[in-house]
Structure 1
Amino acid sequence: VTMEKANTSFPSYNELDDYLTRRNSNFVLLLVATITSCGWIIYLTYYNSRNIGLILTLIINRLYKNGYIHIGSFSFSVLSGKVMFRDVSFINEDMSIRIQDGLLIFRWWKMYNPKQKQHDPKAETRLYVTVNGFEFHVYNRTDLYSRLQEIFGLEPTLIPPHRDEEKEREQRDKSLESVHIKAETQDPSSSWRSLIPVIKVNISTGRVAFGNHHLPQTLCMNFDDAFLTYATKPPSSHLDQFMHIVKGSLENVRVMLVPSPRYLGLQNDEPPRLMGEGFVVMQSNDVDIYYYQDEPGNHCFRDLSRDLCKKSHDLFPQHDA
């Protein structure tokens, strides 16, 4: 019985050391280290980014309740400032955004000058984004539909009542905030635009669609490559904060009317002649994009109305009878 217990018990450290010494322990340790290293390299190569993407998906969806966000894989490198992602999608009741894969490069090694102009379109690019397989689909406009239901006195059927209460609360808070005077700070170091004045985005194989299965046709715009640059510059009016600027070019652009896959309604009009996937509305090899938009300032409407009343009083003075 004692011999069986001795054979089945776990060997002690001295016994294990003697065993490895008699059987060339260096070779055994080398074999174990090699197998462990190969397993760790395989995990980092094929499974680590997917596990990080799964964890990020669970955390983001736990915190964000107005849609669903999925991240297939996610990895980053601090030394090169690179963030890589794959199979990213965002879906809510109005639209969906899907990205097959992409990477983001933040050039942190570039010298940061706090005294640099905050709105300089010719500044050095610090953030670079590359996306492959981009899809943007707008299939609903819930806010507009709910507003129409409210105007015509219909019962809300698209948005639950608790969301309406949240929106009313947000509008009430915004109306209260508009009473206070807010001025934009002139310190460029307090804004992210001083750190990232210019953003360059390259998209390979993109698609933008507008429509749903309740419409007979869906408007689609396909392009092969897009090179976009985002920057800001001083506003055209002193009442605005700054101006958004998006410049770029698209290659092999094609705008089509494609039959909706699940449309079961009646065809009141004859469908246009199809050419391949759908009816081509516009097609061009090169398209240049210039988009400008002013960001409204946070000024008090009370002061503006007071100025307007003062000007109207100066233009139309009241005379005593």
Structure 2
Amino acid sequence: MSSHPSHTISLKIVIKVSHQFQIFLESRKNILHTLKTTILSCGWIIYLTYYNSRNIGLILTLVLNRLYKHGYIHIGSFSFSVLSGKVMVREIYFITEDMSIRIQDGFIIFRWWKMYNPKQKQHDPKAETRLYIMVNDFEFHVYNRSELYGQLQELFGLDPTIIPAKKDDEKAQVNGRQRTHTNLESVKVKTESQDPSSSWRSLIPVIKVNVSTGRLAFGNHYQPQTLCINFDDAFLTYTTKPPSSHLDQFMHIVKGKLENVRVMLVPSPRYVGLQNDEPPRLMGEGFVVMQSNDVDIYYYMDEPGIFLLQEWGQFIVNTYWGF
């Protein structure tokens, strides 16, 4: 007994429709997978672009403040690139009882792709620059000398009011350092190694630093005037050279150029004391003590060495430094 032709046709239609429906569902699944992948990729790109560096900065801030107990360190954002050897930072704050350092943004470039020559002279100022530092909106403010005041209070037997008293563990660490310092009699003369490859200065003989818009301030709200040194651009080069004495290790050399330098006395914010003397006449932001379009600086200082006092005491000379 054969089936009716209409039943056969309807069955073929149902099979065809179900097959097309399966194809439609598979295509919808592919579209959904593609849409999910696109959304996740866009979200990941947005996170890496806008939020990853800030989260790394937050983690570094928490870790550094956990390790460092004598101040506050803040890193707004931190990112790095291995291919270019570049480290970028933003909103760097370092605040202690005595001073503060603030940097709006900057970056460090370490040219790792340059060939390393272990026989290169450590003190060659014309050596190739491997480390470059760029800083924008640099501010350095000294407003206190609490350690010196604390020493004076301890010397005169006064209660510590400037900084809190040291804990037992901190006192033990200080005493340990003092004992180590007194036991230096067993230490021989520490001079610079003759092997250039054993020193970091053979790897980084020259460091170049550029600062765009800097300010140095000295004063606090207990003084009527604050000394400010402002400059627009600074181009500095750090290197080393042989020391002036064979007992020292090496000599630090910093030379460079500052543009649009102004040294001013400005009124201290929040100062509520009496004015014993009439303040100088103000011009713009403050009284300009010195102003120059170009200033060349040269600073040198010997790095002291460790030597045996009984053997080398008669040959001791003062450490050379100058500005």
Query: Normalization by structure 1: what TM-score?
Result: 0.85
Aligned to 1:245: 253
SS at match of 1:47: helix
1:45 paired with 2:49, answer yes
Aligned to 2:16: none
Task: Please report how far the alpha carbon of residue 53 of structure 1 lies from its aligned counterpart in structure 2 after TM superposition.
Answer: 0.2
Q: Is the alpha carbon distance of 1:153 and 1:179 closer, same or farther for their aligned partners in structure 2, counting shifts above 3 Å? A: farther
1:89-146 CA-partner distances (Å, limit 9, x unpaired): 1011111000000000000001011122222222110000000010000011122212
Task: Please report how far the alpha carbon of residue 158 of structure 1 lies from its aligned counterpart in structure 2 after TM superposition.
Answer: 2.4
Q: Is the alpha carbon distance of 1:128 and 1:109 closer, same or farther for their aligned partners in structure 2, counting shifts above 3 Å? A: same
Task: Please report how far the alpha carbon of residue 189 of structure 1 lies from its aligned counterpart in structure 2 after TM superposition.
Answer: 1.9
Identity across aligned pairs (percent)? 73
Q: Is the alpha carbon distance of 1:53 and 1:257 closer, same or farther for their aligned partners in structure 2, counting shifts above 3 Å? A: same
Aligned to 1:193: 201
The answer to whether the 8 Å contact 2:189/2:247 transfers is no
Aligned to 1:213: 221
Q: Is the alpha carbon distance of 1:107 and 1:24 closer, same or farther for their aligned partners in structure 2, counting shifts above 3 Å? A: same
Matches within 5 A, 1:140-151: 140-151=144-155
1:287-309 CA-partner distances (Å, limit 9, x unpaired): 0010111111111222123668x
Match of 1:303 among 295, 306, 311: 311
1:105 paired with 2:125, answer no
The answer to whether the 8 Å contact 2:190/2:249 transfers is no
Structure 1 letter corresponding to 2:209: V
Aligned to 2:295: 287
The answer to whether the 8 Å contact 1:116/1:194 transfers is yes
Q: How many residues align?
A: 292
Aligned to 1:7: none
Aligned to 1:61: 65
Q: Is the alpha carbon distance of 1:123 and 1:22 closer, same or farther for their aligned partners in structure 2, counting shifts above 3 Å? A: closer
Separation in 2, partners of 1:150, 1:157: 10
SS at match of 1:240: coil
Separation in 2, partners of 1:63, 1:100: 23
- Bigger Cα displacement from structure 2, 291-300 vs 148-157: 148-157
Q: Is the alpha carbon distance of 1:45 and 1:298 closer, same or farther for their aligned partners in structure 2, counting shifts above 3 Å? A: same
Aligned to 2:278: 270
1:161 paired with 2:166, answer yes
Structure 2 letter corresponding to 1:57: T
Separation in 2, partners of 1:20, 1:175: 86
Aligned to 1:4: none
1:40-87 CA-partner distances (Å, limit 9, x unpaired): 110001000000000011111111112111000000000000000000
Match of 1:170 among 162, 173, 177: 177
User: Please, what is the CA RMSD of the aligned residues?
Assistant: 2.0
Matches within 5 A, 1:98-137: 98-137=102-141
Larger Rg: 2
SS at match of 1:161: coil
Separation in 2, partners of 1:285, 1:178: 51
The answer to whether the 8 Å contact 2:259/2:294 transfers is yes
Separation in 2, partners of 1:173, 1:158: 28
Task: Please report how far the alpha carbon of residue 179 of structure 1 lies from its aligned counterpart in structure 2 after TM superposition.
Answer: 4.3
1:174-214 CA-partner distances (Å, limit 9, x unpaired): 22235421423322222211111110000001000001111
Task: Please report how far the alpha carbon of residue 19 of structure 1 lies from its aligned counterpart in structure 2 after TM superposition.
Answer: 8.5
Q: Is the alpha carbon distance of 1:237 and 1:26 closer, same or farther for their aligned partners in structure 2, counting shifts above 3 Å? A: same
Task: Please report how far the alpha carbon of residue 167 of structure 1 lies from its aligned counterpart in structure 2 after TM superposition.
Answer: 3.4
1:228 paired with 2:233, answer no
Separation in 2, partners of 1:166, 1:146: 18
Q: Is the alpha carbon distance of 1:61 and 1:270 closer, same or farther for their aligned partners in structure 2, counting shifts above 3 Å? A: same
Q: Is the alpha carbon distance of 1:301 and 1:20 closer, same or farther for their aligned partners in structure 2, counting shifts above 3 Å? A: farther
Q: Is the alpha carbon distance of 1:256 and 1:20 closer, same or farther for their aligned partners in structure 2, counting shifts above 3 Å? A: farther
Structure 2 letter corresponding to 1:69: I
Separation in 1, partners of 2:187, 2:228: 44
Structure 2, unaligned stretches of length 5 or more? 1-21, 317-323
